Amino acid sequence: MRELLSIVLRRDGYEVLVAADGKAAVEILKRERLDVLITDIRMPEMTGVDVLREAKTIDPGIISIIMTAFATTDTAVDALRLGAADYVHKSPNAVNDLRLRVGKELERKRLLQENVLLKRQLGTPNKFSNIVGSSSAMMSVFELIETIAPTGSTVLITGESGTGKELVARAIHARSARSDRPFVAVNCGALPDTLLESELFGHMRGAFTGADTNKKGLLEVAEKGTIFLDEIGEMSAMTQVKLLRVLQERKFRRLGGTEEVEANIRIIAATNRDLSKMVAAGDFREDLFYRINVIPVKLPPLRERQDDVQALAEHFVEKYAAQMKKELHGISGAAMTLLRSYPWPGNVRELENAIERAVALERTPSVLSDSLPDGVRAASASPASAAAAAPPEDLTLSGGFDLEQHVQDIEREYIMEALRRSHGVKKNAAELLGLSFRQFRYLLKKYNIQ
């Protein structure tokens, strides 16, 4: 059989090395770089399964095909478990079966390698093509991403709303060994407790009213990939306990389920809150905090990297001009001055929205000040923060000034403005203000804003 196979495979154009037994095969494996191993199972001294095990430790990528003469497939199953690509029965058809399998497996391996190469090439020209920034703060963020991405460690990304936390999380995933597996984002602040838990852990039929089928949780959907827990500071105490268990034991149960499910998953969490303060106040579990704060990544607010505003603004003009198919190039000097002097409380997200709107409105070939939002244009006349914070001129003992009322007026103004800028989409308005959806909803009720 060995002789026959070597003749046939050579005729197909392969280079073939033959070994009379397992020991000789292992010697060859140690010496040569081989694509495929074909081995019998029953052999003197070393069984085919032993050879396979050795081969896989020497080269985990080797394609192995096992030949078996016996009706029982037990050992063949063992072999498959050890990573053999397939097994072939010794039958009159064996030689042809083998030729087919070898061809197929090699083709598959070639495609895989091509894919890896392609991805590598795509990755090189600009390492962070979708994250714009050349400020020193962002440069050190880039460096940190490159260092931690391959480690698989848990990462906690902090920063105000709109600073690019999700973008960074995706970049970390894309540069990790898990990049060909799913990246699943969950907003912990957007869902009520039980819904969040059933989203994360899945549920069994009948676990609660309305659970009329079994459902996989996102932890299972993201198997071998990355799960992004956004706004983790909003997670309830009960869900925190369950998440802690996932981090400690890498296992969880579906709601209403008894079976333990393995969680092979990388966790990246993000928050715009100060978690250490929340821990001190008893609003966030300390043990969970330490488990997720393994590698902290801090994104600075845009006002602390004003140098990036120009490049970001230009990037967004290009993006939206292309999207809206408009012949628009660049931003006028005056408009850029306005953009650079505005403090961007909603950070990059607010800048992106402002540019999107400007590109839509603009009728000339470049973005002019007129197309920028009122807030941005007003900023240069009277720096926004100073305007709101300055006490009125007529502050006197008898003036009947009501600080609380004054602060509430300002708060209300900001809420209305955020709603206006986000076209009434509450979730986005909340983000602009750096509030969780819950906090925002509370304020809407407080001020009776419909």
Q: List contacts with ligand ADP (CB under 6 A).
A: 131-133, 159, 161-167, 312, 348-349, 352
Shortest spacing between CB 165 and ligand ADP, in angstroms: 3
Following DSSP, what letter does each residue of 69-126 receive, concatenated? -SS--HHHHHHHHTT-SEEEE-STTHHHHHHHHHHHHHHHHHHHHHHHHHHHHHHSSS
In the complex with Mg ion, which residue's Cβ is closer, 166 or 314?
166
- Position 190 contacts Mg ion (CB under 5 A): no
- Position 370 contacts Mg ion (CB under 5 A): no
For residue 349, the partner it binds in ligand ADP, Mg ion, none, with Cβ less than 5 to 8 A by kind, is ligand ADP
For residue 355, the partner it binds in ligand ADP, Mg ion, none, with Cβ less than 5 to 8 A by kind, is none
For residue 373, the partner it binds in Mg ion, ligand ADP, none, with Cβ less than 5 to 8 A by kind, is none
Report the candidate in 163, 162, 119 with the shortest Cα–Cα distance to residue 141: 163
Give the number of other CB atoms < 10 A from CB of residue 362: 23
In the complex with Mg ion, which residue's Cβ is closer, 166 or 223?
166
In the complex with Mg ion, which residue's Cβ is closer, 146 or 166?
166
- Position 86 contacts Mg ion (CB under 5 A): no
In the complex with ligand ADP, which residue's Cβ is closer, 14 or 142?
142
Shortest spacing between CB 14 and ligand ADP, in angstroms: 49
Cα–Cα distance between 233 and 440 in angstroms, integer?
Answer: 15
In the complex with Mg ion, which residue's Cβ is closer, 166 or 356?
166
- Position 185 contacts Mg ion (CB under 5 A): no
Shortest spacing between CB 422 and Mg ion, in angstroms: 14
Residue-wise burial string across 177-206, b where 16 or more C-beta atoms lie within 10 A, e elsewhere: ebeebebbbbbbbbbeebebbbbbbbbbee
Q: Are 269 and 157 in contact (CB under 8 A)?
A: yes
- H or E stretch covering 315: helix 308-323
Contact residues for 185 (Cβ-Cβ < 8 A; gap 6+)? 166, 169, 227, 228, 230
Report the candidate in 364, 367, 346 with the shortest Cα–Cα distance to residue 417: 346
For residue 163, the partner it binds in Mg ion, ligand ADP, none, with Cβ less than 5 to 8 A by kind, is ligand ADP
Minimal CB distance to Mg ion: which residue?
166
In the complex with ligand ADP, which residue's Cβ is closer, 311 or 368?
311
User: Position of tokens 């890896």?
Assistant: 116
Q: Which part of the chain contacts Mg ion (CB under 5 A), choosing from 16-24, 127-135, 165-173, 377-385?
A: 165-173
Q: Are 361 and 354 in contact (CB under 8 A)?
A: no
Minimal CB distance to ligand ADP: which residue?
164
Shortest spacing between CB 123 and ligand ADP, in angstroms: 17
In the complex with ligand ADP, which residue's Cβ is closer, 131 or 275?
131
Shortest spacing between CB 328 and ligand ADP, in angstroms: 18
Shortest spacing between CB 404 and ligand ADP, in angstroms: 30
Shortest spacing between CB 226 and Mg ion, in angstroms: 15
- H or E stretch covering 157: strand 155-158
In the complex with ligand ADP, which residue's Cβ is closer, 175 or 349?
349
- Position 40 contacts Mg ion (CB under 5 A): no
For residue 352, the partner it binds in ligand ADP, Mg ion, none, with Cβ less than 5 to 8 A by kind, is ligand ADP
Report the candidate in 414, 437, 403 with the shortest Cα–Cα distance to residue 350: 414
For residue 156, the partner it binds in Mg ion, ligand ADP, none, with Cβ less than 5 to 8 A by kind, is none
CA distances from 3 to 8, 9, 12, 16, 108 (A): 9, 10, 14, 11, 26
For residue 133, the partner it binds in Mg ion, ligand ADP, none, with Cβ less than 5 to 8 A by kind, is ligand ADP
CA distances from 35 to 23, 26, 103, 108, 446 (A): 19, 14, 11, 12, 69
Shortest spacing between CB 228 and ligand ADP, in angstroms: 9
CA distances from 351 to 97, 237, 343, 367 (A): 61, 35, 10, 14
- Position 166 contacts Mg ion (CB under 5 A): yes
In the complex with ligand ADP, which residue's Cβ is closer, 160 or 197?
160
In the complex with Mg ion, which residue's Cβ is closer, 97 or 166?
166
Shortest spacing between CB 372 and ligand ADP, in angstroms: 17
For residue 167, the partner it binds in Mg ion, ligand ADP, none, with Cβ less than 5 to 8 A by kind, is ligand ADP
